[in-house]
Amino acid sequence: PQTPVKVTVTGAAGQIGYALLFRIASGQLLGQGVPVRLSLLEIPQAVKAAEGTAMELDDCAFPLLAGIDISDDPNVAFEGANVGLLVGARPRTKGMERGDLLEANGGIFGPQGKAINDHAADDVRVLVVGNPANTNALIAQAHAPDVPAARFTAMTRLDHNRALSQLAGKLQVPVADIKKMTIWGNHSATQYPDLYHAEVGGKVAAEQVDDAWLRDTFIPTVAKRGAAIIEARGASSAASAANAAIDHVHDWINGTPQGDWTSAAVPSDGSYGVPEGLISSFPVVSKGGAWEIVQGLDIDPFSRERIDASVAELADEREAVSRLGLL
Ligand code: NAI
């Protein structure tokens, strides 16, 4: 029988964890037929809740679920991990400055990066979901010098999926008719969802909508969708975030479909003027289990300005965590 793939999920007792674990255990992360061993990392106060979730996972009797481990020690939880889903993070609380937020998260993602470096499997792939995701990924990566830098990524797939859904609704087409959507930059309100390269029925999406809708409705709706969900639901996106995490890792391992691409925040190689090393969202394809940034796209002046603004924010965040000694 096949050796199970070990998937470590941090923040396992949180809302996203609850929406994510059952889908992983059912086989949706890795592809059907691949057995999985789950490792749940939580803070001590939440270990009991994680145990409750593990009881429910048992009660699903998933044929592909080979076992569940629970720990409050990253060194234990990442032992032999093939996939790390870094979901648990310190949320911004009232009165917290940006520097405090970055520092609190540095205290989480630094040690987790080191634990991955020291204990994970050689093929480990890491997706950071916990915010500020791009910069948390940078911190984890900086603490894992023995792991190839490209194995550290951050999630913009939820933004990508939101953009697909908004455009499909506007044009009254199925989401499957839309190809080559791109989210550029930071997973934050400055992100740039790009319709100048997206295609609907083989034609450029931006030419099928009016400029006012693109600029004043589409971009802000996608960028502020997280806040709209909080307003409506009284809690932040959870099932859709978990779904996006599944999409990201599934495509990373199994490849993106021919003739299409997706969005992921990956370490920049300097493409499109994004400073090298920043973990920024790009149009990407996955081949042979590795992300590649789609090359050669023409960037119009409007897009250039938007991309530069979001990338400048990422550079600022890198500067701030560097000054705090977190890299
Ligand atoms: P939540 O508050 O329900 O759960 C977070 C869990 O992480 C808690 O159970 C907490 O105990 C745990 N945790 C905290 N510190 C930890 C540590 N050091 N090690 C292990 N576990 C730890 O939050 P929720 O809704 O599940 O969201 C998680 C994160 O995902 C948040 O940072 C949120 O902002 C982010 N997010 C990112 C999205 C994206 O598109 N990139 C979309 C939606 C949420």
| CATH code of the domain covering residue 121 | 3.40.50.720
Average pLDDT over residues 209-227: 97
How do residues 47-69 score in pLDDT, each as one tens digit? 999 999 999 999 999 999 999 99
| Active-site residue (options: 119, 143, 160, 187) | 187
Indicate whether 28 belongs to any domain.
Answer: yes
Helix (H) or strand (E) holding 161: helix 157-171
In a domain, 235, yes or no: yes
Q: How high is the pLDDT of residue 248?
A: 98
Residues 136 and 244 placed together within one structural domain of the fold: no
In sequence order, what are the beta bridge partners of 86? 10, 128
Contacts of 222 (CB under 8 A, 6+ apart): 159, 162, 163, 166, 183, 191, 193
Q: Is 131 annotated as a binding residue?
A: yes
- pLDDT score, position 2: 87
Q: Which domain holds residue 104?
A: 5-154
Separation between Cα atoms, residue 38 and residue 15, nearest integer Å = 17
Q: How many degrees, rounded to 5, is the angle at CA 89 between CA 16 and CA 262?
A: 60
Q: Is 126 annotated as a binding residue?
A: no
Q: How confident is the model at residue 200 (pLDDT cuts 50, 70, 90)?
A: very high
**266 within domain boundaries:** yes
Mean pLDDT taken over the chain:
97
Domain match, 234 and 278 both: yes
14 shares its domain with 107: yes
- As a whole number of angstroms, the distance between CA 22 and CA 106 comes to 29
Whether the predicted pLDDT of 21 surpasses 80: yes
- Strand positions, DSSP E, 166-325: 178-179, 182-184, 192-194, 199-200, 203-204, 262-267, 279-287, 290-293
**What is the pLDDT at residue 91?**
86
Residue 20 sits at φ, ψ, to 5 deg, of -90, -45
Please state whether the peptide bond connecting residue 283 to the residue before it is cis, i.e. omega within 30 degrees of 0. no
240 and 224, same structural domain?
A: yes
Which range (23-32, 156-165, 289-298) has the least confidence? Answer: 23-32
323 lies in some domain: no
| Alpha-carbon span 56 to 202, nearest angstrom | 45
Asked if the structure places residue 14 within a domain, the reply is yes
Q: Choose among 89, 152, 90, 88: nearest CA to 116.
A: 152
| Res. 98: pLDDT tops 90 | no
Position 130 confidence tier, pLDDT thresholds 50, 70, 90: very high
Does one domain contain both 172 and 146? no
Q: What is the pLDDT of residue 32?
A: 77
Q: What pLDDT, on the 0 to 100 scale, is given for residue 13?
A: 98
> Is 324 contained in some domain?
no
Q: How confident is the model at residue 286, as a pLDDT?
A: 98
Same domain, 37 and 181: no
User: What atom of ligand 1 comes closest to residue 41's alpha carbon?
Assistant: 20
Can you tell me the mean pLDDT for 159-181? Answer: 98
Residues 12, 150: one domain? yes
pLDDT mean over 268-293: 98
For residue 97, pLDDT beyond 90: no
The Cα 193–Cα 219 span in angstroms is: 6
pLDDT at position 96, please?
A: 86
Residue 257 inside a domain? The answer is yes
Tell whether 327 is covered by a domain: no
Q: At residue 47, what are phi and psi to the nearest 5 degrees?
A: -65, -40
Burial of 62 (0-12, 13-18, 19+ CB in 10 A): middle
Examine the domain organization and report whether 125 and 169 are in the same domain.
no
CA of residue 286 to ligand 1 center, whole Å:
26
10, 74: one domain: yes
Please report the pLDDT score of residue 309 as a whole number.
98
Rounded Cα gap, residues 315 and 145, in angstroms: 21
CATH number of the domain enclosing 177: 3.90.110.10
The pLDDT assigned to 166 comes to 98
Ligand 1 centroid distance, CA of 169 (Å): 30
Q: What is the pLDDT of residue 213?
A: 98
Q: Give the residues surrounding ligand 1 with Cβ less than 6 Å away.
A: 10-11, 13-17, 41-43, 46, 87-89, 91, 108, 129-131, 133, 155, 158, 187, 236-238, 241
Residue whose Cα lies nearest atom 39 of ligand 1: it is 129
CB 68 within 8 A of CB 54: yes
Percent of the chain predicted with pLDDT > 90: 95
Q: Averaged over 105-130, what is the pLDDT?
A: 98
Do 169 and 150 lie in one domain? The reply is: no
Residue 114 has pLDDT above 90, yes or no: yes
Does residue 187 have an active-site annotation? yes
> Which of 154, 185, 217 finishes a domain?
154
Closest residue by Cα to residue 73 from 115, 128, 15: 115
**Residue where a domain stops, chosen among 96, 129, 154:** 154
* Mean pLDDT (whole number) for 136-161: 98
Ligand 1, atom nearest to 50 Cα: 9
Are 133 and 162 contained in the same domain?
no
Contact present, 36 and 265 (Cβ < 8 Å): no
The residue among 154, 181, 199 that closes a domain is: 154
d(CA 236, CA 131): 12
Q: Are residues 175 and 301 located together in one domain of the fold?
A: yes
| Structural domains of the chain, count | 2
pLDDT tens digits along 219-261: 999 999 999 999 999 999 999 999 999 999 999 999 999 999 9
Amino acid at site 55: M
Q: Is 112 annotated as a binding residue?
A: yes
Percent pLDDT > 70 in the chain is: 100
d(CA 246, CA 255): 13
Is 185 annotated as belonging to a binding site? no
